[in-house]
Amino acid sequence: MRILVRLRADADAVYNPEYHNKLRGVIWNALSGTPFYDLHDDRSVPAFCFSNIFPVKQITEGDIRHVLVSSHHEDLIRVLADRFDPGTEFNVGEMAFHVDGRSVLSPDVGETGSSGTLRTDTGVYIPLPEERWDEYGIETDANAEQIGWSPDHSLEIFLERVRENLAWKHDTICPDYLDTVSPETELFTDLAPQKTYTVDVPVTSNNTYEYTFLVTKWEFEYTVRNEDHRRWLNLLLDTGIGWRNQLGFGFVNLEDED
């Protein structure tokens, strides 16, 4: 489930592409005082994912922008729908807005046999930990515990890590619902990286530490094979693809459906 928040700009502003930490703060503040706020420091349970503020361009007072927040916690989305009343301030750093309206949405990839495209409008972060570099055939001088996937590495490594992450989300959220994602699971019929870039994002509440994330935007083609497959793809729509979804990475949109 997700909520589409319609925003109206209160002042002219420069669009900040490194909005992630500030926008995350707006969402957590809206959840303050609810049971979902307990997930703030708990990385063992997926909470939510969010889009960029779109369309992406300079902001003029009175302009309309939108943001999407998705979650497998349906009640979390309902709380946000209550908290984001029209007229509510929605300030993302220097980008000042108020809520102009909101809608709750439930996208679905479709029944068995349906085809479509999943698109990530925010970059997907796939960490490759140091202890697996030999397994992946990675040789690097990077002084780091992990590096981010890029097109320099194979697509199979990307898909393997996506399956591992989705299996963790499935087993954490709904372990008794359907079969889990296996290493042999084919999630997509085709996939294509669109853009690779870096984003600097504070990763502490007081902004004392900033991390550079190497991320990639994607388009994924799919044809739903069965109900398990449908559930996995819909789980990606709720939780995002890859890691650091609560920083807004890996947010997924459903493009079309046959």
List, by residue range, all CATH 3.30.70.1900 domains of the chain.
115-257
Is 2-105 CATH 3.40.190.10? no
Residue 114 has pLDDT above 80, yes or no: yes
Contact between residue 50 and residue 67 where contact means Cβ atoms under 8 Å apart: yes
Percentage of the chain modeled with pLDDT above 70: 95
Instruction: Fill in the amino acid letter for 133.
Output: W
d(CA 200, CA 252): 21
Q: Give the three-state DSSP class for 105.
A: strand
d(CA 29, CA 51): 17
Residue 204 has what pLDDT? Answer: 65
**Active-site annotation holds for 41:** yes
Percentage of the chain modeled with pLDDT above 90: 81
Mean pLDDT (the chain, rounded)? 93
Strand arrangement of the beta sheet that strand 190-202 belongs to: 190-202, 210-223, 115-120, 252-257
d(CA 215, CA 194): 11
Catalytic one among 38, 41, 100, 176?
Answer: 41
CATH for 115-257 (3.30.70.1900, 3.40.190.10, 3.30.2420.10, 3.10.129.10): 3.30.70.1900
**pLDDT tens profile 23-79:** 999 999 999 999 999 988 887 888 999 999 999 999 999 999 999 999 999 999 999
d(CA 133, CA 119): 28
**pLDDT tens profile 180-204:** 788 888 999 999 999 999 999 987 6
Mean pLDDT of 106-132: 96
Mean pLDDT of 125-152: 92
d(CA 73, CA 93): 27
Distance of CA 212 to the CA centre of its chain: 17
Residue 258 has pLDDT above 50, yes or no: no
Residue 181 has what pLDDT? Answer: 82
